[in-house]
Amino acid sequence: MNIILLGPPGAGKGTQARRLVDERDMVQLSTGDMLREARTSGTEMGRVVAGVMDRGELVTDEIVIGLIREKLTEGGASGGYIFDGFPRTLAQADALGDLLAELGETLDAVIEMRVDDDALVARITARSTCASCGEVYNDNTKPIPADGTCTNCGGKEFTRRADDNEDSLKTRLLAYYKQTSPLIGYYHAKGALSSVDGLAAMDDVAGSIRSVLEG
């Protein structure tokens, strides 16, 4: 089963994708994570994308489609793929459709995670991540334990994303509404879209996603 989690930055796509990986043996393909890895690798591509990401703008379609193509052709996801943060433009959505068709795969569900902008600002500016396993914490709703140890892996180092600040978030939200939200109509027209309330408690969001997948 291959699915897309669609929603603005801070909607909880990464958190829910990680749960699906644990529960269903699926593989999470996050272009944001791939790009963050590329920027620390010292490559020319990493240098080019770093500034774009920090400003909150979108990296070119060519780069992200290339990253996804590489992962999909590697294969190895028996439980299927979760596309997290990809596609973000209509060109990327078309390219994903072509890639899946080439590989004889299908797109089984597109799940829109609905949230409002005020909640996003609060979530994103309070967000931090375990440097070892990527577990996501929030200063208000899921603080890092008092002993400074990650509940998932025992790691002791936590990072805040360079683009998780109010200025960059404004640009990221604009990019979402201008370039990514048309995908809601696109996938609705293809009969693949379902929506869940992304503001509900984490377990309830997971339950709604499960209902879509098992529906």
Residues that bind ligand AMP (CB under 6 A): 9, 31-32, 35, 52-53, 56-59, 64, 85-86, 88, 92, 163, 172
Mapped onto helix, strand or coil, the DSSP state of residue 112 is strand
- Whether 127 is catalytic is yes
Closest residue to ligand AMP, Cβ-based? 32
β 3-6/127-130 pair status? unpaired
Q: State how far the Cα of 164 lies from the Cα of 79, in Å rounded to an integer.
A: 31
Amino acid making up residue 67: L
Q: In this complex, which beta carbon is closest to ligand AMP, that of residue 85 or of residue 198?
A: 85
**Closest CB to ligand AMP among residues 148, 177:** 177
Selected catalytic residue, list 13, 19, 39, 123: 13
Which one, of 60, 12, 36, 42, lies nearest residue 162 by Cα? 36
CB of 176 to ligand AMP, least distance (A): 9
Residue with smaller CB distance to ligand AMP, 167 or 211: 167
88 catalytic residue (yes or no): yes
Dist CA 86 CA 57 (whole Å): 14
CB of 151 to ligand AMP, least distance (A): 22
Residues near 187 by beta carbon (within 8 Å), at least 6 away in sequence:
4, 6, 93, 110, 193
Q: Whole-number minimum distance, CB 67 to ligand AMP, in Å?
A: 9
Q: Nearer to ligand AMP by C-beta: 57 or 117?
A: 57
13: annotated active-site residue: yes
Burial class of residue 16 (count of CB atoms within 10 Å of its CB; 0-12, 13-18, 19+): buried
Handedness of CA 196, 198, 204, 210 (dihedral sign): positive
Q: How far is the CB of 8 from ligand AMP (least distance, A)?
A: 9
- Active site (annotated) includes residue 18: no
Residues 6+ apart with CB under 8 A from 171: 55, 56, 57
Judged by beta carbon, residue 53 or residue 196, the one nearer ligand AMP is 53
Q: Considering the candidates 39, 161, 178, 190, report the single residue annotated as catalytic.
A: 161
Tell me how far, at minimum, the Cβ of 147 lies from ligand AMP, in Å. 28
What amino acid positions are annotated as catalytic residues? 13, 88, 127, 161, 172
